[in-house]
Structure 1
């Protein structure tokens, strides 16, 4: 268990454009800030800069809404073109009401609007664009981890986070979309509590807890802080990503 944790925003991180090398941008930003990365550090990245680098933009003028999108748009008071993109990025619609569409994203997690939005991106009013989530957030995390290891010779842990609302509480909170290098879900089943009783169901969403901490520094508006260095977390190495955090449908009591 970690006894202390430090989180530091990489200062003056540049705006990201399609095709940018995130590893190079991170290295350059660390050099300019006289920051060094160490084995075991976690780099938490806001989903948007990963999506931007991967050119995950979608332009409304290129979208032809389907009949299903037109129907759902009329029921939820949303632009049919956005709804079409949501359906393309989703396995199923879980819940809907005017102004909100909750879906199971094709990567498995339940998310509002499939994580698609237009905040913090420049858009032409004559051809609005939105940003989709990365195609494979775990693969993006692994690729960045490998690239930074090649450049710096250090074994880092990578976390890609986003923010979402929660079923029983107001406000958004950071959660993990993808990870690399560490165990995202840690089971404590069988471990003893303070009084020696074995834990029966306790699992810790380590990646989500780190994502929430990083999201607090990243902010949700004009903070311009998309990369956070987390130091001091004692993590279990793993080749798995955040897929372990997704509850199997058979155990989901709310669908």
Structure 2
């Protein structure tokens, strides 16, 4: 019988710019009476990386552009927040405001290529009032540095994924998805294998990294201050992968 365990790592302190995040996470793992073994995978909400890397913006330092003012008027949003969203975006895919909403939403293509609400610009758990928290500049590089540092500290073959919470087109609610990845595959290609009845699989390709991210949401909460989750019992092969591997190419995008 295949057994999988998930451990939310407790007692991770509030992160400050410049903190040695690898040392903090390693210490928290050991303080929880845990270690890392070959095959373990860690996931982490991106916000601790964003804070350590100084990716927090004070609204007092933002001057909105004319474009930001126009969107802000249409959507009843803070023009300074809209300006930050625009700076984090390649383009605005859609924007809308329902009559019963206090403010509208901008669906954007982030500079990293992800499609998400408000270009992943968020106010929750940013650390201070009147501040916004952004994705890390290069989440894949951040994940790789962490994976290498913790692999060395614990002498173990591990994977690491950085996550954020995204909505889904045509479905209610949000789930965690992977925005930074190192060591583990982004997807698992099942094409050429067979199903339980011997039929050849031609398109099946589970998004392994996003499955990890979504599962992490089962044991962490916005208020729990447990952004890091340890997975044990997974079967995976080490690979040079990144979260960018999950983004569908423009030529395959049927909705542009």
- 2:101 is matched with none
* Uncovered stretches (5+) of structure 2, i.e. residues with no partner: 98-103
How many Å separate the matches in 2 of 1:169 and 1:3? 30
Contact 1:161-1:215 within 8 A present in 2 as well: no
Give the TM-score taking structure 1 as reference length. Answer: 0.94
- 2:120 is matched with 115
* Uncovered stretches (5+) of structure 1, i.e. residues with no partner: none
Contact 1:93-1:101 within 8 A present in 2 as well: yes
Contact 2:37-2:158 within 8 A present in 1 as well: yes
How many Å separate the matches in 2 of 1:110 and 1:59? 24
Residue by residue over 1:62-116, the C-alpha shift from the partner in whole angstroms, topping out at 9 and shown as x without a partner, is 1111121111222222111111111111111111102100001111110111111
Give the TM-score taking structure 2 as reference length. Answer: 0.94
Contact 2:46-2:135 within 8 A present in 1 as well: yes
How many Å separate the matches in 1 of 2:225 and 2:163? 15
* Secondary structure in structure 2 of the residue aligned to 1:204: coil
- Report the Cα offset of residue 121 of structure 1: 2.6
- 1:173 is matched with 175
How many Å separate the matches in 2 of 1:83 and 1:41? 39
Runs of 4+ in 1 over 3 A off after TM superposition: none
- Tell me the C-alpha RMSD between the 2 structures: 1.4
Map 1:54-203; keep pairs closer than 5 Å.
Answer: 54-98=53-97, 99-124=104-129, 128-203=130-205
* Secondary structure in structure 2 of the residue aligned to 1:138: helix
Residue by residue over 1:159-207, the C-alpha shift from the partner in whole angstroms, topping out at 9 and shown as x without a partner, is 1011111112111111111110011111111211122221121111000
Contact 1:46-1:227 within 8 A present in 2 as well: yes
Alignment of 1:19 with 2:18, yes or no, is: yes
Residue by residue over 1:33-65, the C-alpha shift from the partner in whole angstroms, topping out at 9 and shown as x without a partner, is 211111211111111111111110111121111
* Secondary structure in structure 2 of the residue aligned to 1:143: helix
Contact 2:56-2:126 within 8 A present in 1 as well: no
* Secondary structure in structure 1 of the residue aligned to 2:145: helix
- Report the Cα offset of residue 19 of structure 1: 1.1
- 1:236 is matched with 237
Count of matched residue positions in the alignment of Structure 1 and Structure 2? 250
* Secondary structure in structure 2 of the residue aligned to 1:217: coil
How many Å separate the matches in 2 of 1:108 and 1:21? 28
